[in-house]
Every structure is written in C-alpha cells, then in structure tokens.
Amino acid sequence: MELNTLDIMKLLPHRYPFLLVDKIVKFESGTGIAGVKNVTINEPFFQGHFPDHPIMPGVLILEAMAQVGGVYALLAKEVGEHQVPYFVGIDNAKFRKPVLPGDVLLLELTLLKVRRGIYHFSGKALVNGKLVAEAELKATFADK
C-alpha cells in the first residue's frame, strides 16, 4: 500500500506547515506502518533551528512518527472518520544523529498494543538505513 500527501490529508487534520508526513509506504493491519518525510531546506523551522547549521528539531521527528501512527489507526478502521488523533505520551526517546536538509526520513512504527483506546507504538526514524531517532509513542482519538 502506498499513500501520497493528498491521500494523507484526507485522513489527518494536519496541514502546512505542520503536516510532517509526505508518503505512506507500508501498512500492515495489526503489525505496523511506515511513512516518509522528505526534509528540505524550505522547512520553516530551519529559519531558526539553526540558520548557520540547520537540523530538524527532535520534537518534530517525534511528531512525524506520531502522525504516521495516526494514519495507522485510521487505515485500520479502528477509529471513526469524525475523530482526530491526540498524542498522549512519549517514552524512551533517543536521538542518535542529526537530520539535515536533503535527508529522507523513513518513519517505521510497530504496533505494540491497543488498550482502552490508547495505541502504543515502538517507533524508529532512519536516514539511509541508519537509526537517527527512536521512541515509544502513545496516541488516542477524540471527536472533532
């Protein structure tokens, strides 16, 4: 399964400059999902983080992972179309290498469990097959 940006925008409420997923490249119900973020110098956060040494903020890498997790729940049809995702927790976040303009960020999420409406994922962010960030993420959904 592959979804482009327009497909993702039909699922998620996020829009520019906060939509941080360009493509979904893999989806397996009950298992996990993978998405791509193309990191370009045109990103608004590079104006201030940092102008002479631009790196993608770690919190935005985590947000990109969370958005991929939101797409997972919506594709799995486990939540209604009238609901929006809420990021409710981060555990064990680690940042291994900086993400730079021109990098292609592969965001891989493995579903650990769903309990009481809270999705638990193990997430990895990779650039050229190398781990740049990882975290355990929790998300839920609420009515719009």
Whether residue 81 is predicted with pLDDT greater than 90 in this model: the reply is no
Q: Which of 14, 49, 53, 82 is catalytic?
A: 49
Say how far residue 137 (Cα) sits from the centre of its chain.
Answer: 10
> What is the percent of the chain with per-residue pLDDT over 70, rounded to a whole number?
100
Contact 17, 57 (CB under 8 A): no
Q: In which band, very low, low, confident or very high, does the pLDDT at 77 lie, cut at 50, 70 and 90?
A: confident
Model pLDDT, residue 79? 79
Any catalytic annotation for residue 53? Answer: no
Where do runs of H (alpha helix) occur along 12-143? Answer: 58-75
Interatomic CA distance for residues 20 and 64, integer angstroms: 5
Q: Which residue has the tokens 């021109």?
A: 102
Where do runs of H (alpha helix) occur along the chain? Answer: 5-11, 58-75
Whether residue 78 is predicted with pLDDT greater than 80 in this model: the reply is no
Please give the angle made by the CA atoms of 7, 2 and 39, to the nearest 5 degrees. 75
Is the preceding omega at residue 121 within 30 degrees of 0, hence cis?
no
Which CATH code fits 5-143? Answer: 3.10.129.10
Q: Using one digit for the tens of pLDDT, what is the confidence trace for 2-57?
A: 999 999 999 999 999 999 999 999 999 999 999 999 999 999 999 999 999 999 99
- pTM for this structure? 0.95
In the chain, % helix, strand, coil (3-state, to 5) comes to 20, 45, 35
